[in-house]
Amino acid sequence: MDQRHREILRRHRSSLVTTLDTADICDGLLSKGVFTQDMIDEIQVKETRRDRARALLTDLETRGSRAFRSFLECLRETGYHDHAGLLENGDGAHPPRPMPVQPSLIPLPVQRPEYTENPDRPVLIPPTVVPLRPGTLPVPKPSSPQNQKPTRKRRDSIQTYKMDANPCGICLIINNVEFDPGSCLKDRNGSNIDCDKMERRFKALNFKVVVKRNLKCKYIRRDMSTLAKEDHSLYDCCVVIILSHGTEANHNRFPGAVHGVDGGAVPVQIIANYLNGQNCPSLQGKPKLFFIQACGGGEKDIGFEVSQDEVQPSMGGADDQTDAIPMSSSSDSLSTPDELDARATLPTPSDMLVSYSTFPGYVSWRDTEAGSWYVENLDRVLEQNADTDDLVTILMMVNDAVSQISAKGLYKQMPGSFNFLRKLLYFQTP
């Protein structure tokens, strides 16, 4: 499918997911050769109508250059005239006025003409017409099985994680605000605002939320170990959110480290490895999500100049602070005797996603009155888009929003993720 058509579908995805009934569309896409029967079967086994609509739209983007036009034809054939017009219009700025649905007229065969009684002026009586209801036109049936090519096993669609447990899973939030005087770290004013937002948001997404405050380094490890020992067999997902100071650290998988209130630091890769398939068997094959609001280092990004229509600049608050400490305090303090308890080996981190508030090596900005840029936008985008968009798409929206803010009119911030998920992830929504 052309990139232009993909963008049109994604722009109107929310409306389509909200209203589309795939049962009306799938037969048409099958008869036009866009979908195979195997593809339709996989769509129809989804539990909810929204999930079926999401799967149809995701698969549609993989079906070649004819798929978009065929989809428009199917929409019109099944009565979705407004949707077809909106997609065909493209940008959606001036949606076409909906056309009234006219009944289809099909003439019945007439055996012979009939005439009036006046033989001098014969008048042919028109044939009788029978109106049909919209959507009752015959749909061409697919060719017989013996004339079809054998369909190969599907390998071109991305499946979705199961996310319907109640509750969906545990969400652990570690909120470090008040740091010991000997740590040389400032208190993180405004972090409680972030914590409250994330607690409300993930409760709304049907997670069991546990909040821990002002943890020393060893207690961060202890609580991660406790979380790993939980029985997650009845859950579908696990979330860890860390709000703290951070710094650079040696790593071979996930960069960065987060600080306890005593000044010690735990590498992010150690935190993630507590929940890997070896250390937490009940989470094998399930998504494990980490959201890190902390600096990745001490460097400040002043950005680069772009044209005015490229961005919509947004000013940060007057009291913007960073969550960074100098690099010199980060390396030697990370190797502690209990590190091997967290990971004896480093297996492939499948089904993990680590989202960072900033690029490795750079500071992360936090407003003392409004909270951090990253958490504020993560909360907002989840509220607006969690019912229609997958997690990776949501995080790209957060990246874009944060990238357009400036601290003190100068400094920038760029979030990012290390994504090892194997499927699309859609949160539960009310």
Q: How many CB atoms lie within 10 A of CB 36?
A: 18
Q: Give exposure, 378-416, as e/b (b: 16+ Cβ within 10 Å).
A: bbebbeebbbbbbbeebbebbbebbbbbbbeeebbbebe
Catalytic-residue membership of 217: no
Element (H, E) at 74: helix 67-77
Catalytic-residue membership of 94: no
Distance CA 372, CA 13 (A): 29
Distance CA 30, CA 361 (A): 51
Query: Parallel, antiparallel, or unpaired: how do β-strands 169-175 and 352-356 relate?
Result: unpaired
State the catalytic residue, choosing from 5, 83, 232, 245.
245
Helix/strand/coil percent split, the chain, to 5 = 35, 15, 50
Strands (E), 186-304: 207-213, 237-243, 246-247, 257-259, 265-267, 288-293
Find the radius of gyration of the CA atoms of the chain: 29
Alpha carbon distance, N-terminus to C-terminus of the chain: 33
Q: List residues with catalytic annotation.
A: 245, 295
